[in-house]
Structure 1
């Protein structure tokens, strides 16, 4: 029997005050437990237990020894746990994204990450505005479009396309616009969440310079989902990002127009503050980047 087993056996007898109870707890015979304690006492050169036919009690030396044995066993168990705990990710992450992108892509990514790392907590902030990582305590943010802050660490994970679409019912009633200029004769839905001038829509035609058209915003809303819902209801044309309505276009609930005039695709980046990230933040960034590249490819 090694020292650890000796200590465990002695602590079990001292705790239960019974050789038989200690034997049952360890799945051994009472005789084996008795021999183990006798061998321990012989090696130490002192009696650790008072034995009677009715009870077992600790001697003074036994009381001192059992406390030290408990401490050593606890330290050994902590030592055994430490490599696992060093590998295990833990802590709280704050992640930010726009509302629809977060709902459609980041929530599933976060859910999968939490399943894999139960010691991690996540605060998910969904806003249709530009979030300041430093001021709002954000570890990782998803940003769509050109980057203005070059001090941030950026990882490109894909692209999304700005498109114009409407319900088939609206297009049947009002006709399909063939050029950006035609939008001036149409009813449009403006979304204020991501641009300070929601009624200015930019286009780029093959062989022509960029063109910006001021549309007639019959309805102005402050969330992307409200703009999409209005388009589905036949209110008018709406400018959205392709990931926001891909399923609706596939089901033919919305129809994309002005395909040949679409501006260049918008980059999608994962952003982090400069410096060395925590292991948890770095692991989540890798996890999110791999999954976003698949859905945005």
Structure 2
């Protein structure tokens, strides 16, 4: 077995946590996998893995070597792809991540157009309401809402969204429309679990403000908060893109104008920038153009 294949075997063993699991994934026999790692250790002259009857752990040298192997193998795959033309013509599988509702409303239409335009590409869409680590979860492109941490990702800003307060017309007809944040303590409110609400602002010295109130209903998903608001259960804080379809259909109305609501940027992020394969660059170009032209993501456009 050549050195490059032995490195691939070692990486798979480390990532899968065992020789048997790596053997199944590589379609090899467990003894062949064991021999490949042993040969690599003999060549290097140090132990890469600590083996027991129940566990397998990287040594300190093995942890450093794993990162080097990943980088070297990635460079090799990039060189091979470049020679094969993958950097010129979009092809292969593209993995995209985005928040659930934003993905459904805005990313999926871009994916549909992308698939129609590039028949040699397939897409894996991960719509999750959490920040996905692109490297750890094998994603090529991510949509991020909010201010970016200094993560080293290549980012293209495509618009902004803002936090709004909304309620069903029926609820407002029954309970009245609040005219200030201070009026919210007289209203039923709906919250998202783990998220601080704009009407819960307080200072350590003064305690809760006049607008402080407690949620009568707290849900653990955005869809549930939205459904509860539409059902007339109270006033809910959501992002502008999340309520846009319901507002357009007349099922929700926006109330108040939160003076402290800061617009949140929307970015498309990726790892490689100009060095990215054609499938990544093509999708970013297409999705950025669509999002930048959408008035719900770019207020003032359209």
Task: Return the TM-score normalized by structure 2.
Answer: 0.62
Task: Tell me the distance in 2 between the aligned counterparts of 1:135 and 1:212.
Answer: 45
Task: Tell me the distance in 2 between the aligned counterparts of 1:95 and 1:165.
Answer: 30
1:266 aligned residue: 264
1:175 aligned residue: 176
1:165 aligned residue: 166
Q: 1:162 to 1:131 in 2, by over 3 A?
A: same
Query: 1:184 and 2:185 equivalent?
Result: yes
Query: 1:227 and 2:228 equivalent?
Result: no
Q: 1:234 to 1:155 in 2, by over 3 A?
A: same
Shift of 1:197: 3.1
Q: Deviations over 1:54-93 (max 9, x none)?
A: xxxxxxxxxxxxxxxxxxxxxxxxxxxx999875311111
Q: Deviations over 1:144-202 (max 9, x none)?
A: 1111234111110011121000011111222212222222222111123xxx3344558
Query: 1:92 and 2:67 equivalent?
Result: no
Q: 1:149 to 1:274 in 2, by over 3 A?
A: farther
1:21 aligned residue: none
Shift of 1:269: 0.4
RMSD in angstroms over aligned alpha carbons? 2.5
1:236 aligned residue: 234
When the two structures are aligned, how many residues end up with a matched partner?
206
1:5 aligned residue: none
1:251 aligned residue: 249
Query: 1:121 and 2:119 equivalent?
Result: no
Describe how 1:31-42 pairs up with structure 2 within 5 A. none
Q: Which has the larger radius of gyration?
A: 1
Task: Tell me the distance in 1 between the aligned counterparts of 2:263 and 2:123.
Answer: 30
Task: Tell me the distance in 1 between the aligned counterparts of 2:86 and 2:147.
Answer: 40
Q: 1:198 to 1:85 in 2, by over 3 A?
A: closer
Name whichever of 287-296 and 247-256 sits farther off.
Answer: 247-256
Shift of 1:222: 1.9
Describe how 1:1-297 pairs up with structure 2 within 5 A. 87-192=88-193, 196-201=194-199, 214-259=212-257, 261=259, 263-274=261-272, 276-295=275-294, 296-297=297-298
Q: 1:120 to 1:197 in 2, by over 3 A?
A: same
1:65 aligned residue: none
Task: Tell me the distance in 1 between the aligned counterparts of 2:264 and 2:253.
Answer: 20
Q: 1:86 to 1:218 in 2, by over 3 A?
A: closer
2:36 aligned residue: none
Shift of 1:290: 0.5
Q: 1:114 to 1:202 in 2, by over 3 A?
A: farther
Q: Is the 8 A contact 1:151 1:274 kept in 2?
A: no
Q: Deviations over 1:96-138 (max 9, x none)?
A: 0011100001111001100111111111001111111121111
Q: 1:85 to 1:99 in 2, by over 3 A?
A: closer
Task: Return the TM-score normalized by structure 1.
Answer: 0.63
Q: 1:213 to 1:280 in 2, by over 3 A?
A: farther
Q: Is the 8 A contact 1:190 1:220 kept in 2?
A: yes
Secondary structure of residue in 2 paired with 1:286: helix
Task: Tell me the distance in 1 between the aligned counterparts of 2:87 and 2:151.
Answer: 33
